[in-house]
Amino acid sequence: MHETISQYLPADDVQRVLLHNEIHMRPSATFRLPALVIYVAVLNSKVSASEELDHLKLLPQTQSLALEQMTGNFLQLECPGYKVIWERHSEFTRYTIVQSLPANAQWGSELPEFAEHAATGNEWLRNIPGKTITAIHLGILNEGINDPDAFYKAKRWLGNGTLIGSKMGRTFDHQSHSHLMTNLKIGADGFERILVLAAPETSENRAGRIVQRLLELETYRIMSLLSLPVAKKLAAKLRETEVQLVEITERLEKKKDSDDVLLNELATLATQVESLTAEHSYRFSAALAYDAIVRERISEMREQPLSGMQTVGEFMQRRLAPAIATVKVTSERLAALAERVARASGLLQTRVEIAAEAHNQQLLEKLTRGQELQLRLQATVEGLSIAAITYYVVSLALFVGKALKAAGLNINPELLAGFCTPVVLFISWKTIQHIHVRLKDV
C-alpha cells in the first residue's frame, strides 16, 4: 500500500490512502449531448472478474487490458465512436455504452438503435457473462424541453403504454433542468426505454449525473424486488411453522405430552426457523438497503409533475412500496417467529429444570432420612458395641479371678467381675466419645 510522506505529519495509517481514494473509485461519467446510452446490468454471482475481463477485451483497442486494472471494480474504456463503462458491484455488474447521436437524429425523429451505430453490435451485448436484471436504452437530448408536443413525439420512440415522467431539478432561475419520460416497459428487444430532454445549456457533468441517477434508480428498483418472490414463497412455510408452534404451545400448556417429546419437537422447529433465517436474512436486508437507495435517488431528482403524467416518485410509491412492505413484513415475521420459538423453548426448558429440581429435592430428602436412620442404627450399634466390649472384658476379668483363686489367693471371681463391670462400661463409653471427637476434627 502506498503511503504519503509529509514533513508536517506523522506517518500515515496503512489504510489512509485506500479509504481516501474510495470516494474517487467510481467517478461520474460525462455525456456530450445528444447521446444514446445502452445500459445492461447482469447478476454476477457465478461470474468471475477474469471472465468479464475476457469479454471486455473483445472490444476494439482493449486487448492490453489486465486483471490488475479491474481491482477497483471500475473501468472507463474509450472505443472508436463510443465509450464503455464497466462497474462491478457485490451482486451485479453494470455495462454502460455511451455514443453520440448522428446529426439526423433530431428531436421528433426516431432515435437510432445501438447496433446501427456502435462497432460492438448486438452480438457483444448478447454474450455479456451473467444473467440480465436490467437493460435500458436511454436517449438524452439537449432540445425539446419547451416543446408543447413533447408528450406525443416521445411516444414515437418510447412505444405504447402509459407514460410516466416529470420535470427534474431546478436551475438558478427556478426552472427545471430536464424532463423525463418513460413507460418502464420491456420492449420486444428486451430493453426499457427512457427519454430525457435536457436544457440546451446542460453541461456534460450534469448530463452524466442525470443519466447515472436514472440508471441506478431502475437497477436498484429491480434489485430490491429480488426478495419479493422469496417472500411470497416463504409466506406459506411461515404459516405452517406458526401453526406447528401454536399446537406445541397448547400441548405444553395442557401437558398433553411429556416434556422430552415437546422439547424435541421445539428443537426441530427452532432448527428449521434458524435455517430459513440464515438462508434469507441477507436477501431481505439487501432488499431494504436497495429500497433506501431508490428513495434517495428519487429524492435527488427533485421532481415536479408534467401535465397529465404521473411522476416517477408517485409511480414507485404505488407500485414498489407494497412489494417492499411485503418483504419487510416477511422479514419481521421470520424474526418474530424465531423469537417465539426461543421463548417457548425457554419456558419448556424452565419447566424441565423445575421438575428436575423437585426430583433432586425428593432424592435429597430420601438421602437425609436414610442418613438419620443410619445415624440411629449407628448409635444402636455403638451401644451394643459398648455392651459387647464390656461383656468380653468382664468375662476376661472373671477368668483372671478364677485363675488367681486357683493359685491360692483369697479372691472371689464373681465379686471381681461385678466390680469391673461399671468401670469397663465407663471406659468403653469414654473411648467411643473420644473416637467421635477425633472424627469430627478430621
Burial label, 202 (beta-carbon count in 10 A; 0-12, 13-18, 19+): buried
In this predicted structure, the answer to whether residue 104 has a pLDDT above a threshold of 90 is no
Say how many Å lie between the first and final Cα of the chain, rounded: 71
In this predicted structure, the answer to whether residue 28 has a pLDDT above a threshold of 80 is no
Q: At what angle do helices 312-406 and 204-225 cross, to 10 degrees?
A: 50
Band of pLDDT at residue 116, cut at 50, 70 and 90: very low
Higher pLDDT, 420 or 212: 212
| Out of 40-44, 115-119, 174-178, least confident range | 115-119
Band of pLDDT at residue 441, cut at 50, 70 and 90: low
Locate 238 and state its grid cell.
411461515
| pLDDT for residue 118 | 45
State mean pLDDT over 335-341: 85
Contact partners, residue 429, CB within 8 Å, separation at least 6: 386
> 58-70: string of b/e by CB count within 10 Å (b at 16+)?
ebeeeeebeeeeb
Q: What percent of the chain has pLDDT over 70?
A: 89
State mean pLDDT over 203-229: 92
DSSP 245: H
In this predicted structure, the answer to whether residue 186 has a pLDDT above a threshold of 60 is yes
State mean pLDDT over 306-331: 88
Strand-strand pairing, 192-198 and 178-182: antiparallel
Smallest Cα–Cα separation from 213: which of 290, 301, 145, 295?
A: 301
| Out of 103-112, 270-279, 430-439, least confident range | 103-112
State mean pLDDT over 364-379: 77
In this predicted structure, the answer to whether residue 237 has a pLDDT above a threshold of 80 is yes
Of 24-28, 115-119, 242-246, the range with the highest mean pLDDT is 242-246
pLDDT in tens, 60-94: 888 888 988 888 888 989 888 888 999 999 999 99
| pLDDT for residue 395 | 86
In this predicted structure, the answer to whether residue 202 has a pLDDT above a threshold of 60 is yes
| pLDDT for residue 431 | 82
Are 153 and 106 in contact by the 8 Å Cβ rule? The answer is no
Mean pLDDT over each residue of the chain, to the nearest integer: 82
| pTM flag (> 0.95) | no
| pLDDT for residue 115 | 40
In this predicted structure, the answer to whether residue 114 has a pLDDT above a threshold of 50 is no
* Residues constituting the chain: 442
Higher pLDDT, 344 or 218: 218
State mean pLDDT over 404-425: 82
pLDDT in tens, 288-307: 999 999 999 999 889 888 87
In this predicted structure, the answer to whether residue 374 has a pLDDT above a threshold of 80 is no
Higher pLDDT, 151 or 42: 42
Phi, psi for residue 86 in degrees, rounded to 5: -110, 130
Rounded CA-CA distance 282/286 in Å is 6
Band of pLDDT at residue 117, cut at 50, 70 and 90: very low
| pLDDT for residue 24 | 67
State mean pLDDT over 357-377: 77
Would you list the domain boundaries of the chain?
25-219, 227-362, 371-441
Higher pLDDT, 351 or 290: 290
State mean pLDDT over 36-54: 93
Higher pLDDT, 414 or 351: 414
Q: How many helices (H) and strands (E) does the chain have?
A: 10, 9
State mean pLDDT over 177-191: 89
